[in-house]
Structures are given as structure tokens and as C-alpha cells.
Structure 1
Amino acid sequence: MLAKKALLTFGTKGSSLIFGFAVTFFVARSLGPERYGIMGFALAFTGFFTALGELGFASAHLKRISENKNIGRCIGTFFSIRGILIALLLTVSLLVIYFIKKFGNGFETKTHEIVIYIFLASLVFKNIVTTITLTFDGKLETAKSQLVEFVMMFTNAVLSIFIAIIMPSIILLAGAILVSAVVALTVALYLFRGYPVERPTSDSVKSYVSFAAPLAAVAVIRPFYYYLDTLLIQAFNSSKDVGYYYGAQKLPNFILLISDAVLTILLAAVSQFYTKGDMGAMRELCKKAERYLSLIVSPLVMFLIVFAKPVIEILLGSQYLSSVPIMRFLLLQALFLTIGRPASVLIVGIGRNKLYALEAILEFPLMIIFYFILIPKSLFGVKMFGYGTQGAALTLMLMSFIGFTASKIIAFKLAGVKLNKRIFFHSLVALLSCAGVSAAANVLSFNSLMFLPLFFVITCVIYFGALWFTRQINISDIDFFNRMCNVKDMKNYVKAELKMRGTN
């Protein structure tokens, strides 16, 4: 059943990939790098405040719900805490904007400011949506949470493409994101009917706070990982460079959605196994998650690295070719983050969140040092490397590798989960397969962009064929995917879950 839940989430993320491609294709071309960069900057600016709406309580809610605690009490506690956090997010962000305008240089243009306000409103609605969907995820009711996400993505895609074609406007495109969040909230509230909500007690609040407190530091640091690079590029370079960087982030971010597909499911499952004392099942689950993520992601990452130039031309247009080297670094970052996430989830799932937080805190100053050495040309009169956008991407790649290594070591020390050396073999085979297809295409002069989908299919055939020949995959893997992809079973599962109502 966990496999079907994961597949359903993969399906939603796959839809997100398709919608995202379509939106990026039309929006990036209609706006151009400079105006596209304004959207990227506004997203990064508001993204810095996301931590205030979370502060580790999302993981706490998933943990407590998955432990089969009093569901109504858990929901009431989380909703109360989240309401306070959303109010805090809104208050702090508006104060920061006020001080920037009052005592700083303000924003580069009025458009920057308007888009920031719209994104801030979207952020509030999205926080309310996730307050509900996290309850679905904690109860492993994946169909409900994925339906909400699908509705939000579909609404945004339709509105954004329409605006990009008919009347390309940054403000209207930002408004499309806001409208999609409101529509998603409506669907989430409908699916939430029948769930019990009880008044929180001091004990329930303490339970959430005790789990979330160590993770709060990680939540505060996380926006720096996601958004500081964009803000520094805006500070040391220009909106046009932000546009190149924002465009380069699209495909790597879509790949990270694949690991997101199993993240919440895996955390809930690991927590359940740990609560039952079944360490063997917990270890096996994490090993399988890591292996299958590597099998799926490796050929995709390597193909995009080898064929980065034509992919950028198709997705963003020739005006974004400066995004090519940036995207290659970010793709490697996505690979390390994806295959390292099962280990990170295990650390949190067994309640060692303080250790997980310590890892993030220790890595944070190193990331800041890399940023200020690699991005600016000079700092306080001292000459730096001045790699700009590529320096930011290189920093993220290095930090993801360091984080992957640290998480694997901690997971081994805590639960005996060894490093699966096969994942490196997967990447090597994928790279060689892509390189071979690229070389053959050059020799045969098949350089047209229309051949790119065919090249990917051939690459996958060579990749999986080589893994079969070297016995890295076998008939049991094929059976696993066949069972997971059974359409009839999936249809019955989704129908049954959507009919369910929350119970104690």
C-alpha cells in the first residue's frame, strides 16, 4: 500500500513536471530574463519568511498523527499553533518591508514591491492549505493531499499560460499563483469535512513544542539554503542574472519534487515502524527508498546534464543559454539531495531531531562562507572569485554533497543503515549511457531539437539494459513496479480514500 501511495504522489509530481514545463515555456519567453528575474527575486524575498510559518511543527504534526495519538486533539493543537505562526509570518514580513522602504533604499522598482505583496498573500493561503494536507499525510491519506496539490498546480498552469499568451504581466502572473492557492484551500476544506477538532491541552502543546523546538533552528536556516543565493545574485549582479538563475532552477526543482513524493510518506512510515520497535523493517524501507530513488533519478539527471544546451533552448529559449552551466551544478545538487533524503528522514523519524538540527546548524556557516567567496567580484575591497550565478550553484552542489555524506554517517551510527554503493554505479551507468547517445548523435548529425525525446528513450533503454545485464535490477523489481502501477487497484484505492472521513 505504501508503494501505491508513493506512486500516486509520483503521478502528482509528474503532472507538476508537465504543468511546470508548460508554464515555464510560455512565461519565460513572454517575460524575458530581466522581468522573469523580478518574479524570481520576489519569490526568494517572500520565501525567506516561510520558516516563521513552520518552525518544525509540520514534522511534529506528522510524527504525532502517525503515532495514532488522539487525532482530534492533534488537529486542534496543530491548527492553533499554525494560526499563531501564520500571524507571526505576516507581521514580521510586513515590518521588514516597512523598514526597507523607510530606512533602506527600498525596492528596485514598484513592480518588485507589488509582486512581493501578492506572493506574501499567496504564502499565507498556502500555509493554511498545508495545515490541512499535513493531517492527510500524517494519516497516510495520500489521495486527498495529492488531489489538493494537483488542483493548485492545474489552476496556476491554466491561468499562467493564458496570461502569458494574451497579456504578459508580472503582476497578473503573480495573481495567478494567489488564485490557485485560494482554489486549493476550497478543495482542502471540502475534503476535511468530518475530521474531529478538539481543544488543545497544555500537554498536547508541550508534546508538539518538545518535538519541534530542535527543528526550529533547521526551519530558520532552510530559507537561507533555498533563497539566499537569489538575493545575493540580485545584490551583486542584476535582475537579468537572477532571471538566468531562476530559469536554471526549474528542472532541478522538478527533480526534487520526486524525492518530495516519498518524503512525507516515508517519515510517517518510519515513525510507525520505530514506535512498534521494528527496526529491521525501518532499515529495509529506507534502503529500498534510497535505491529506487537513485534508479529513477540518475538517468534523468545525467541526461539533462549532457543535453543541457538543447534542453534549455527548448524550455526557456536561446536567450537563456547562460543558464546552461548553472543548471548542471544544480542538477548535481538535486541528485545528492534526492538520494540523501531517506537517511535524513530516518534521523527525524526515530526522534533524533536534535542531531538532525545540529547537522544543519554546523553546515550553515560553511555555506555562507562559500557564497561570499564565490559569488561577488569583491567584498569590502577584497577581491573574490566573482563567479556570480555559477558560484551560487557550485556552493549548493558542494553543500548538498556534504549534507549527503553527513546524513549517511549519522544514519549508519544510529540505525545501522549502510551506504548503498549501488547508487554510485547507477549514476555512472546513466552518465555513460547519455554520453554514448550524445556521441552517436553527433557522428550521425542528428542535432535537431526534435530528436531529444527519442534520445532520452534510447538512453533509458541502454541504462536499464545495462543494469539488468550487471544484475543491478532483477525480476523482483519489475514485479514491484507492475504491482505498484496496477491501474485498477490504484483506482479503487483513490475512490476508497476520498470517501473516508476523519475519525479518532
Structure 2
Amino acid sequence: MTSKLAKGSFLLVLGAFLFRIGGYIYKVAMANLLGPSGYGILSFTWPLQNFLIMIATAGLPPAIAKHVSEYYAKDDPEMVKAVISISIRMMIALGLVFSVVIFVLAKPIAIGFFNNSQAIVPFQLIALITPFSVIVGALRGTFQGFYQMKNILITRAFELFFMVTVAVGLVFGGFYVAGAVVGTAVGFMMAMVAALYLFQRDVRGKINPPKKLLARSRRQLTTYDKYRVAKMLIIFSVPVVITGLAELALYDTGTLVIGHYMPSSDAGFFNVASTVARFPLIISMAVATSVLPAAAEAMSLNDHTLLRTYILQSYRYVSFIVMPLCVGTIVFAKPIISLLFGNAYIPGAQSLQILAAGMLFFTLYTISSSIAQGLGRPRLPMYVLIFGTTINIILSIILVPAIGINGGAIATTIAALVLMSILMWRTLILAHVSLPIVEFGKIIIASIAMGVVFLTFPQTKIYLIAALILSPFIYLGILSVIGGLKSEDVRMLYKVSSKLGPLSAIVNSLIRLIERFAR
């Protein structure tokens, strides 16, 4: 019953992990090539780039995923095609408009807000990204709706490979921050090429019935029908895009406020900390991507048992993996930053410790948000996120001038805690589901106990590597002893082990050792 969710989530977790590693290669390379000041300027472009993409896509990819999943389950290929084609047209039009807008506003933003003339050209080059990113976003939403998670990973692989290689080459060639931005544009362009090919290969046949079935299965949509589809998409997507913008504000308020009040090098320190702290989000994003169409399908089938299973499994998968990751990050913040970005960025270590806790809260919020969208309640995360983002903005403006970059980290963490508490509570009530508190409590206890063990380790790179090797044994061992390991966890571990190649034998030995404690 949970195989669709588990398989989709696992593929995305595995692929997103590799993608994030590649993203770290990109950021590590940029941080070392550009230095804290140049990297700080590059970090200013990311909030603007993400904001522009979110506005241009109008929040439609989640809407595409939801409605494609529903109409395909109802065997209505014409409505599936209408959802896809109308969404793509809307997104392309918006993408072109906002590309012009950001090009015109680049200079006023760089000079007026950041007081940095070196940011003008990189901001202008952001306009190159939007036309390609909106098409990629629409096609990824389509793949999500058909549970074709592998195709999403393929497009991300193309995006990453060309982004990294082109950006590094251009920065080496002397194009500084502008070269890094152009690399991102090329990455999206090649991802678009891959997505179009995969759409033709894997989706076209699903929405075009064979000729012998065409006469009795096809119905022509009228202009009014298409208007209703567009209205349906907009009604769903408007709160989603507002939610997305608020989410971006939650992520990037610290960087923007620091960029306004402090030198760009401080923004570089903060962005390094934020980048590392967000690592666990690849887990929650992968599960959230799978649970949205899964929840929508369960709702359309009126199957509460299936819905409850999807929800509980989603929270458990995320907590099971993310909690020990966050604890380990808090303990080894300095050597992590030193290993990845160099000693020049160690001033961001304390911010990383604070943000690691905040991202733990935000991962659970992310799952709740996706479930709420799948249940047809996109306004709920929107309202909660707007409230939390407002708290973050107010606290950042107060705390950053007073205590520096740590103020931005504290503001983000407090806001994330508020978001998680409110939305998780409301989503569970909406779905008529109760969390097994004792099970989740055991995960927390095992993670904290592991962290206490690692507190005795010296804060060096060698001991960090040792902790990475020992952490699965310590964490799973403690979890097994206190009765927190379930039989489904063991099955998931075996599935993960089967993908590890030569390491599978060693990992399987560990799993068999703890399997006897599983419930």
C-alpha cells in the first residue's frame, strides 16, 4: 500500500542527495574561487533568481502535479492534456514578462538596496534564466503527477552538470560572479532539452489513446472548458505561489537583511551556514514531492486508511533520517564548514548550529504543507507561512543590526518553530490523524544520545569523518535497544542497502544485527 510513496520518495532522496552533493561542489567551488566577498554577492542573486522563478511559474507546478494525478486516475486524458498545455502557455507568458522586469530593476536593486555596484551585471543576467526555468518547472510538475520521479532526477542531473561545468569554466576565465549566473542559465537550458525529450518519450503516449480507442475515449474541450481549467489552476496556484514566496522570504530574509546592513563577506558567511543547514531538506522535499499526488489520489478515492498511512509514513521517514543529521550538524559545525568551504568561512559556524535546529523544524513544516496541498487546502500553509515569515522579517530587522549574522539565524529558527507547530497541528486535525508520540519520542532520544556521544570527540576534520562512519551504528543501535525500530524501517534499510553496491554486504550485516530488535 505504501510502495508508491516509498519508491517515489526513495528515488528522489537518492537522486536529490547526489544532486545536492553536486550543488555543494558548485558552491564550494564558487566560495573558493570568489572569496567571501564575491560569494556574498553571488548569494544576493539567489533570492532574486528564486523569487523571479516563483513569480514566473505562478505556483503552477504543484497544481499541474495535483490535477494530472487526479484526472489520470479518473481516466480522462483530454483533461490531463488541457491542464498541461494551458499551464505551459501561462508560464511562458509570465516568464517573458518578468525577465524584462528584473533586467530593468537590476541597477536600482543593486545600488539602492545592497549598495554594491558589482551586483548590477549579475542581477541583469538573472533574466536569462527565467524562460528556460518555467518550461522545466511545468514538465517536472507533469512528471510528478505521473509519479515519474526518475525523470525529475534526470532533468536535475542535466541542470546540475551544465551549471557546474559552465560556471566554473567562466569564473576561471575571469568573468567573476557574472560567470556563475550564466552557468545557472545554461544549466536550466539543458534541463529543458532533457525534459522535452522525456516528455515525448514517457508522457505523450499516456495522454494520447490508441487509435482504436480514440473514437470512444476522446472528447473535445470547448473554449469554456479550457477557461474553467485555467480558472481551476489559478485558484489552486495563487495560494501556492504566495506560500512559495513567503517560503523564499523565510529562507532568504537573513541574507537580504545582512546584505543591507553589513558587508557582502558577512552575507557569504551566513549563506554558507544556511547552505549546510538546509541539507536535511533534500529528505523532506523528496518525501513531500511524493506525498502531494499520493494524498490527492487517496482523497479522490475517499480512502482514509490509505491517506492516514501516507501521512504517518511521510512524517516518520523524515524524522527517522533528519533528526540525527541535524544533531550531528550542531555538534560538528566548525569542522563541517572547514572541510567544505575552508577556514575562511568558520565565522559562520555558530549560525550553522542555530540554523540546523531551525531546518529540523522546517522539514516537518514542509511535509505538512505538501499534505495540506494534496488535501486541497493550499491556503492553510499560505496563511501559516505568511505569519511565520512576518515574524522572521521583524526579528531579522531587530536582531541583525544588534548581534550580526547570528541574529538572522535566530530569527529564522524561531519562525520555523512557529511554522511547524501551527501547520502540523492543523494538518493532522484536517486529515483526522494522530501522531504516535511515543514512536517519535524514541527517535528524538536516540538522536540526542548519539549527539551526547559525539560531544566527547575533538572538533577536527578527522573526528568528523570518524563520526560519519560511526553514526549509523550508534544511532540505529540506540534506537534498537530502546524499541524504536519498526519492521518497516528494516525493510526500508534493506532497500537502501541494495543500492549501495560493494557496501551492501557490510550494511546488510548491520541490518541483520539490529533486525531482531524490530517490532
TM over 0.5: yes
- Whether 2:129 is the aligned partner of 1:122: answer yes
CA deviation after TM superposition for structure 1 residue 98, in Å: 5.9
Q: Which residue of 2 aligns with 1:494?
A: none
CA deviation after TM superposition for structure 1 residue 457, in Å: 1.8
Instruction: State the distance in 2 between where 1:342 and 1:420 align.
Output: 16
CA deviation after TM superposition for structure 1 residue 482, in Å: 2.1
Instruction: State the distance in 2 between where 1:79 and 1:105 align.
Output: 34
Deviation per CA, 1:318-360: give whole Å up to 9, x if none.
1111110111122112111112332222211111222332222
CA deviation after TM superposition for structure 1 residue 158, in Å: 3.3
Equivalent residues in 2 for 1:297-316, closer than 5 Å: 297-316=322-341
Q: Which residue of 2 aligns with 1:30?
A: 33
Relative to structure 1, the CA distance from residue 141 to residue 309 in structure 2 (aligned partners, 3 Å threshold; closer, same or farther) is: same
SS of 2:253's partner is helix
Retained in 2: the 8 A contact 1:408–1:418?
A: no
Corresponding residue to 1:339 among 341, 344, 364: 364
Relative to structure 1, the CA distance from residue 485 to residue 9 in structure 2 (aligned partners, 3 Å threshold; closer, same or farther) is: farther
Q: Which residue of 1 aligns with 2:447?
A: 430
Retained in 2: the 8 A contact 1:294–1:426?
A: yes
Retained in 2: the 8 A contact 1:129–1:185?
A: yes
Relative to structure 1, the CA distance from residue 453 to residue 351 in structure 2 (aligned partners, 3 Å threshold; closer, same or farther) is: same
Instruction: State the distance in 1 between where 2:21 and 2:389 align.
Output: 33
Letter aligned with residue 453 of structure 2: G
Q: Which residue of 1 aligns with 2:138?
A: 131
Retained in 2: the 8 A contact 1:26–1:165?
A: no
Deviation per CA, 1:50-106: give whole Å up to 9, x if none.
3312333222211111102522111111112212321332243234336558xx748
Q: Which residue of 2 aligns with 1:498?
A: none
CA deviation after TM superposition for structure 1 residue 397, in Å: 0.7
- Whether 2:82 is the aligned partner of 1:76: answer no
Corresponding residue to 1:90 among 83, 95, 99: 99
- Whether 2:474 is the aligned partner of 1:462: answer yes
SS of 2:290's partner is helix
Q: Which residue of 1 aligns with 2:431?
A: 415
- Whether 2:7 is the aligned partner of 1:8: answer no
Letter aligned with residue 348 of structure 1: Q
Query: What's the TM-score once normalised by structure 2's chain length?
Result: 0.85
CA deviation after TM superposition for structure 1 residue 141, in Å: 1.0
Q: Which residue of 1 aligns with 2:404?
A: 388
Corresponding residue to 2:490 among 478, 481, 484: 478
Unaligned runs of 5+ in 2: 209-220, 501-519
Instruction: State the distance in 2 between where 1:405 and 1:242 align.
Output: 29
Retained in 2: the 8 A contact 1:301–1:331?
A: yes
Relative to structure 1, the CA distance from residue 27 to residue 168 in structure 2 (aligned partners, 3 Å threshold; closer, same or farther) is: farther
Query: What's the TM-score once normalised by structure 1's chain length?
Result: 0.87
Q: Which residue of 2 aligns with 1:177?
A: 184
Q: Which residue of 1 aligns with 2:53?
A: 50
Equivalent residues in 2 for 1:309-328, closer than 5 Å: 309-328=334-353
Instruction: State the distance in 2 between where 1:109 and 1:361 align.
Output: 29
Instruction: State the distance in 1 between where 2:187 and 2:102 align.
Output: 22
- Whether 2:463 is the aligned partner of 1:451: answer yes
Equivalent residues in 2 for 1:39-438, closer than 5 Å: 39-68=42-71, 69=76, 70-97=79-106, 100=109, 105=112, 108-162=115-169, 169-193=176-200, 195=204, 201-376=226-401, 386-421=402-437, 422-438=439-455
Letter aligned with residue 271 of structure 1: A
Instruction: State the distance in 2 between where 1:164 and 1:255 align.
Output: 29
Letter aligned with residue 487 of structure 2: I
Instruction: State the distance in 1 between where 2:106 and 2:80 align.
Output: 38
CA deviation after TM superposition for structure 1 residue 33, in Å: 0.7
Instruction: State the distance in 2 between where 1:465 and 1:100 align.
Output: 52
Unaligned runs of 5+ in 1: 377-385, 489-504
CA deviation after TM superposition for structure 1 residue 208, in Å: 1.1
Retained in 2: the 8 A contact 1:24–1:315?
A: no
Deviates more, 1:462-471 or 1:448-457: 448-457
Instruction: State the distance in 2 between where 1:181 and 1:11 align.
Output: 21
Question: Which of 1 and 2 has higher RCO (CA within 8 Å, sep 6+)?
Answer: 1
Instruction: State the distance in 2 between where 1:100 and 1:295 align.
Output: 42
Retained in 2: the 8 A contact 1:54–1:219?
A: no
CA deviation after TM superposition for structure 1 residue 154, in Å: 2.3
Relative to structure 1, the CA distance from residue 306 to residue 106 in structure 2 (aligned partners, 3 Å threshold; closer, same or farther) is: closer
Aligned residue pair count: 472
Corresponding residue to 2:24 among 21, 24, 40: 21
